[in-house]
Structure 1
């Protein structure tokens, strides 16, 4: 009987990204100093520079990455050839497809992003902290017997029931704000049903689920209270929030299988 499975038994995570966004952007000269300092620190940890790319910036309200005339991001690739650090005038980010468990990724955040964050925070303020997950489930059958109801919990209310009725590929994108004292939290849940080729050969129906939470300053008057909680603690809170959110999107049997419920601690 066909079923959904993940590429590794422990979890369904394809990629995880942690970002810290600042407002305003650091001035050009200060950014050059930070880049020089970060390059030395990162290279001592086995990262290598991939060279500059086109100029980009991050909109502090929407989180969108937009083109700009200045501030080309500096990109660094880790010893595994896949973990990436991005350094921009108003953003630093750590991204990896080599997710093991939260404690390991959080340790990487502390080792890689925290020194960078301290350098920025001496000049500008933290405006937002964002955590993103990309998960994927592969269907072992074909489109003829593909059944999203064997994975997704329609009672979650955040995945379009109309989209779930489609015969093959479909997309459901949902987002909202939650207001939490000095911060407001942007939440995104995107579900995408597409065909993928496992090992580049076998075509399989799949469900990709993107979840994101971003805590940002509610108003300028809340800046001091927002920064009273460290970015490290904010990441822990976002992780718990995303874990609970993701567990609500899928059936309990699958949530247990990938460690979101029960005794497994890999999520």
Structure 2
């Protein structure tokens, strides 16, 4: 029998990404990091770690690790494991890089909570960046995980997935593990297009993952709005309104996509979008 990763939903992780049309200069990236450092603790992000990169010489003999102008801010949450032990676990990461900024969510609490919390840091970041560079893309993605708690030979995804253009036909006949990765571009307007991606992977994960030993279906859904030409220019005073509009549309698109992929009977039984 298939079941969700959590009682309330199947979401193992989510990410909201804003890509810039060109990298932020070192000066602007440092300004963004300083701004977020002043706001992070109020948003629950008490840990931080500078980003690192490796540099290679052309002759391949010299490899050095160096810092880039970027930072990862981490929000921890106390979690009780199966043995009853309580320990801090990452709940969210906010990543600032010259090329993009990302809110990564490991403990999803619902869109009506996650977006207002995300914009507390995304808003100030984009207010600074939008005065310098246009936006290349907004991207929203969800990783859903479903667990089969019966014998492996009975773990067919025909009871979980519907046939769709975004799922390769062989997965409905496969008796073993599989991968199905698909994507498609659709024109939205003369200045933008939408990228839709669906990755379906039947896996058996190892310890320490909580589903270790069971067949699981990882269903990654992503929708991205890409802007052509120089990118989308935004007034720094309007970034929160504009970002909210685009990410709300992406959220609606992913909901509609989810309904087309997950079996309607399973969705009804588990109070999922249908």
TM-score where L is the length of structure 2: 0.82
Match of 2:253 in 1: 241
Instruction: Give the number of aligned pairs.
Output: 246
Residue 129 in structure 1 maps to residue 141 in structure 2: no
User: CA offsets per residue over residues 119-160 of structure 1, 9 Å max, x none?
Assistant: 111111111100010001101112121111000102x22111
Residue 145 in structure 1 maps to residue 142 in structure 2: no
Unaligned runs of 5+ in 2: 55-64, 78-89
Question: Which aligned runs of 4 or more in structure 1 are off by greater than 6 angstroms?
Answer: none
Cα 1:33–1:223 change in 2 (3 A) is: closer
Check conservation: 2:47, 2:75, Cα contact below 8 A. Answer: no
Match of 2:86 in 1: none
- Of stretches 45-54 and 249-258 in structure 1, the one that deviates more from structure 2 is 45-54
* SS of equivalent residue, structure 1 residue 84: strand
Cα 1:49–1:187 change in 2 (3 A) is: same
1:40 corresponds, among 31, 38, 46, to 38
Residue 74 in structure 1 maps to residue 71 in structure 2: yes
Cα 1:200–1:135 change in 2 (3 A) is: closer
Check conservation: 1:52, 1:75, Cα contact below 8 A. Answer: yes
Shift of 1:70: 7.3
1:95 corresponds, among 94, 99, 104, to 104
Matches of 1:17 and 1:160, distance apart in 2: 25
Match of 1:214 in 2: 224
Residue 204 in structure 1 maps to residue 214 in structure 2: yes
Matches of 1:50 and 1:37, distance apart in 2: 14
Matches of 1:150 and 1:249, distance apart in 2: 11
1:178 corresponds, among 177, 183, 186, to 186
- RMSD, aligned CA: 2.5
Matches of 1:82 and 1:166, distance apart in 2: 35
Shift of 1:217: 0.5
* SS of equivalent residue, structure 1 residue 238: helix
Shift of 1:224: 4.8
Shift of 1:28: 0.7
* SS of equivalent residue, structure 2 residue 244: helix
Check conservation: 1:39, 1:49, Cα contact below 8 A. Answer: no
User: CA offsets per residue over residues 181-236 of structure 1, 9 Å max, x none?
Assistant: 1211111100000013586576111111001011011333x7459x9971111000
Match of 1:193 in 2: 202
Shift of 1:8: 1.7
TM-score where L is the length of structure 1: 0.84
- Of stretches 211-220 and 242-251 in structure 1, the one that deviates more from structure 2 is 211-220
Matches of 1:4 and 1:171, distance apart in 2: 18
